[in-house]
């Protein structure tokens, strides 16, 4: 039996790598003819990433990891100007190593007269500068989008915007009509890179111009969430390649965390076990939550206390925390811990998927990263939106305005100059979120069932993955 090897390239970011590995597992489990090789870039700022990735792959023999050589990172001042330009520059610096590795893979199969051939290169969307390498080697190139279909709609619109305007977006710009999104999009909820004059806008424009040059786009979403009509409208121009809605791709076991010991994990779950169903408010902002100042933390605390709900608050601060740090090390209202003792728990980290899946959790105040959104939908837990950066504002807009699946706390909040969100506003959103009889809760529960059905045999994402494999194999024969 002939084998088709797909080579994935992802940036050295844990969330992107997790999605890549989970998708790889689905591919090899779907069809015995498929093998996967993942080219791994080293992250000097995250030395534990390599071991975490290997632990996720485990003993799976049909997924191979190849470490690319360590390179010198771009100058740090570039990061200060534009994180997106820095990331893209780092990817571009890997081009010679990716080219050599791919050449070696292709020639090794040819020289050994193997029944395996490299059938395609699958690039994370931030790695699209590697498209030229695929073309050099005559390899079909596909793109894996770890974000939403709404984000894809914005990126496909970007070259058109540039042809008309020729410059970055501004907050004062009028709402934008974008194919694939039903409602006009306020400029302030567009990805922050599109406003950046120091390389961020240009970096995203260069990526976006390559999207339509691929053989297909894999999206971490499902058509029951972001509709068939949206997919059809995006492809109506005759230039957009096939779109494969293969999500939701989530790591249901949850990634390990170097600072989390088993005892603390067990304490969290034991505490949740004692709480009534759907009674706990889960507050977690990802790694970005560490950027809150003392005044904002106090506003959150006031809101949580006044709401009266039970809560699990993942709390980080700008100060460096150690394993021995306690909530008392962080500026909270005087007496807050005593007044909320018994109905609240504060910790520095928690296994997010396990928490969301627990029957005691009834609502999630989230930064609206796409992975967190998919995890909450999978578990049937409604969200209150508090985006910070990247494309999170767009995700919040889509969840609230496009899909009606979240409570609006803020849509256009930004960490740089966003100002504090006051306790009254937070409390109002929390009360709406935790309303056990709301239509929102029912809609989210319905989407949870749809997400699971999409991945089940005969479901929309199950079939999309099968069609992708069929197309890849047909193109390589």
Domains assigned to the chain: 3-249+454-476 (3.40.50.2000), 262-434 (3.40.50.2000)
Find out whether 349 and 314 touch, Cβ atoms under 8 Å: yes
Report the DSSP pairing between strands 141-145 and 216-219. Answer: parallel
- Give the residue among 21, 35, 93, 101 at the shortest CA–CA distance from 66: 101
The token duo for 198 is 């120091």
Between strands 344-347 and 243-245, the pairing is unpaired
H helices, E strands: number in the chain:
18, 13
How many angstroms separate the CA atoms of 344 and 301, rounded? 11
Three-state DSSP class for residue 166: coil
CA separation (Å) from 425 to 250, 298, 429?
31, 13, 6
Instruction: Give yes or no for a contact between 206 and 125, defined as CB atoms under 8 angstroms apart.
Output: no
CA distance 189 to 394: 5
- What are the pLDDT tens digits along the chain (477 aa)? 789 999 999 999 888 999 999 999 999 999 999 999 999 998 766 666 777 787 888 778 899 999 999 999 999 999 999 999 999 999 999 999 999 999 999 988 876 667 889 999 999 999 999 999 999 999 999 999 999 999 999 999 999 999 999 999 999 999 999 999 999 999 999 999 999 999 999 999 999 999 999 999 999 999 999 988 999 999 999 999 999 999 999 988 765 555 556 777 889 999 999 999 999 999 999 865 557 888 999 999 999 999 999 999 998 754 444 444 454 455 789 999 999 999 999 988 889 999 999 999 999 999 999 999 999 999 999 999 999 989 999 999 999 999 999 999 999 998 877 689 999 999 999 999 999 788 999 999 999 999 999 999 999 999 999 999 999 999 877
Q: Where are the alpha helices (DSSP H) in 58-199?
A: 76-81, 83-93, 95-111, 131-137, 149-165
The span from the CA of 338 to the CA of 463, in Å, is 53
Element (H, E) at 314: strand 310-314
Q: How far apart are CA 244 and CA 246, in angstroms?
A: 6
Which pair of tokens denotes residue 182?
A: 């039903």
Query: Which residues make Cβ contacts (< 8 Å) with residue 437, sequence separation at least 6?
Result: none
Residue 303, both tokens: 């809101």
Residue 213's SS3 state is coil
pLDDT tens for each residue of 109-161: 876 667 889 999 999 999 999 999 999 999 999 999 999 999 999 999 999 99
Per-residue confidence (pLDDT) for residue 319, from 0 to 100: 41
CA–CA separation, 217 and 219 (whole Å): 6
């Amino acid at each position: 039996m002939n084998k088709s090897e797909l080579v994935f390239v992802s940036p050295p970011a844990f969330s992107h790598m997790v999605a890549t590995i989970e998708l790889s597992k689905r591919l090899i489990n779907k069809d015995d003819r498929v093998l996967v090789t993942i080219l791994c870039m080293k992250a000097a700022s995250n030395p534990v990433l390599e071991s975490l990735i290997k632990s996720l792959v485990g003993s799976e023999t049909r997924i191979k990891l190849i470490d690319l050589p360590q390179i010198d990172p771009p100058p740090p001042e570039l990061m200060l100007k534009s994180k997106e330009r820095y990331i893209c520059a780092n990817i571009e610096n890997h081009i010679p190593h990716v080219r050599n590795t791919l050449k070696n893979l292709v020639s090794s199969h040819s020289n050994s007269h193997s029944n395996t051939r490299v059938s395609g290169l699958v690039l994370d969307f931030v790695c699209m500068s590697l498209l030229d390498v695929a073309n050099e080697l005559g390899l079909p190139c596909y793109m894996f989008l770890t974000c939403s279909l709404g984000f894809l709609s914005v990126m496909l619109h970007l070259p058109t915007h540039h042809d008309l305007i020729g410059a970055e977006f501004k907050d004062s710009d009028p709402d934008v009509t974008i194919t694939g999104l039903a409602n006009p999009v306020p400029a302030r909820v567009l990805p922050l890179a599109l406003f950046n004059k120091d390389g961020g806008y240009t970096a995203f424009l260069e990526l976006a111009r390559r999207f339509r040059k691929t053989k297909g786009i894999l999206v971490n979403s499902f058509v029951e969430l972001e509709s068939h009509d949206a997919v059809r409208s995006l492809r109506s121009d005759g230039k957009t390649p096939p779109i494969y809605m293969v999500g939701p791709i989530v790591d249901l076991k949850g990634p390990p965390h170097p600072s989390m010991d088993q005892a603390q994990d067990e304490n969290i779950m034991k505490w949740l076990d004692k709480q009534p169903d759907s009674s706990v408010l889960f507050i977690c902002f990802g790694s970005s939550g560490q950027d809150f100042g003392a005044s904002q933390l106090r506003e959150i605390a006031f809101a949580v206390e006044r709401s009266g709900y039970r809560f699990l608050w993942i709390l980080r601060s700008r100060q460096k925390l150690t394993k021995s740090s306690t909530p008392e090390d962080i500026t909270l209202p005087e007496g807050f811990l005593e007044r909320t003792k018994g109905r609240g728990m504060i910790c520095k980290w928690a296994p997010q998927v396990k928490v969301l899946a627990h029957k005691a959790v009834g609502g999630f105040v989230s930064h609206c990263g796409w992975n967190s959104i998919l995890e909450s939908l999978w578990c049937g837990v409604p969200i209150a939106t508090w985006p910070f950066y990247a494309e999170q504002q767009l995700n919040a807009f889509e969840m609230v305005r496009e899909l009606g699946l979240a409570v609006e706390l803020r849509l256009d909040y930004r960490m740089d100059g966003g100002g504090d969100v006051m306790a009254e506003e937070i409390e109002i959103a929390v009360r709406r979120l935790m309303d056990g009889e709301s239509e929102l809760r029912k809609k989210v529960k319905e989407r949870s069932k749809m997400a699971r059905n999409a991945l089940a045999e005969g479901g929309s994402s199950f079939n999309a993955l099968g069609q992708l494999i069929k197309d890849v194999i047909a193109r390589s024969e």
